[in-house]
Amino acid sequence: MSENAEKESPSQKILATAFECLASRGYANVSMRDIAGEAGVALSQLTYYYRNKQGLFTQVINRMIRRYLHEIEDILTSAANPKERMALLVRYFKKLIREQPKLLMLFIDFTAQALWVPAFRKQVDELFDSITEMIETNILNGSGNRENLRGHSSRSLAKLILGALYGTSVQVLLGFHQEEDMQAIHLAENLFQKECFE
């Protein structure tokens, strides 16, 4: 056992194990007993900290949401101008696909679960709202070229940008036409660059 693992609290160890289990096998294919076994804790300890599978998944998602929001905010505030920020946002999605597919897959699974679980739906809605607001504030409102929005609100365009990147990422992860789908991300970037900055 590593030194970091020894210092990790039981609840943090459970969260880390739950993340790995859920990201590898999906919400529907993982039980509380599976997570307890892989974390090396008693099932009663798991239910003490997180009550049930929905409560545990909510905490895993909260942790993931903080990570997503922090990473996206860092990206959108690191570039000098809106056009560069747009390019960095697209690169971020490409990086998630290539280097952190488990994180993206867990988010996709969470989005699917949100269709049926109201508590999850609220979290997904808040996450989408936060990312949309970041895109609107850091890319669209700073573009200085409001005429290209063609009568649509910057909020609507921000939602379209997020939807295009997220939806295309789902298609890439499915893997049937991965290279073609990656090209669709490039196309989305080019279209948005043209719509927002030319």
pLDDT band at 33, cuts 50/70/90? Answer: very high
What's 1-51's CATH class? mainly alpha
Secondary structure class of 15 (helix, strand, coil): helix
pLDDT band at 36, cuts 50/70/90? Answer: very high
pLDDT score for 188: 81
pLDDT score for 44: 93
Higher pLDDT, 160 or 8: 160
Q: How far apart are CA 29 and CA 24, in angstroms?
A: 9
pLDDT score for 142: 61
pLDDT band at 181, cuts 50/70/90? Answer: confident
pLDDT score for 8: 76
* Domain 64-197 = CATH 1.10.357.10: yes
- Six-digit token pair at 171? 């298609």
Global pTM value? 0.82
pLDDT score for 1: 41
> Tell me: the pLDDT tens digits for 104-151?
888 899 999 999 988 889 989 999 999 999 999 998 886 555 555 567
Is 10 in contact with 41 (CB distance < 8 Å)?
yes
Q: How far apart are CA 114 and CA 124, in angstroms?
A: 7
Residue ranges covered by each domain of the chain:
1-51, 64-197
> Tell me: the pLDDT tens digits for 40-93?
999 999 999 999 999 999 999 888 888 888 999 999 889 888 888 988 999 999
Q: What is the rounded radius of gyration, in angstroms, for the C-alpha atoms of the chain?
A: 19
Q: How far apart are CA 51 and CA 108, in angstroms?
A: 24
pLDDT score for 34: 95
pLDDT score for 3: 45
pLDDT score for 2: 41
**For residues 31-44, average pLDDT:** 94
Q: How far apart are CA 20 and CA 35, in angstroms?
A: 9
pLDDT score for 6: 55
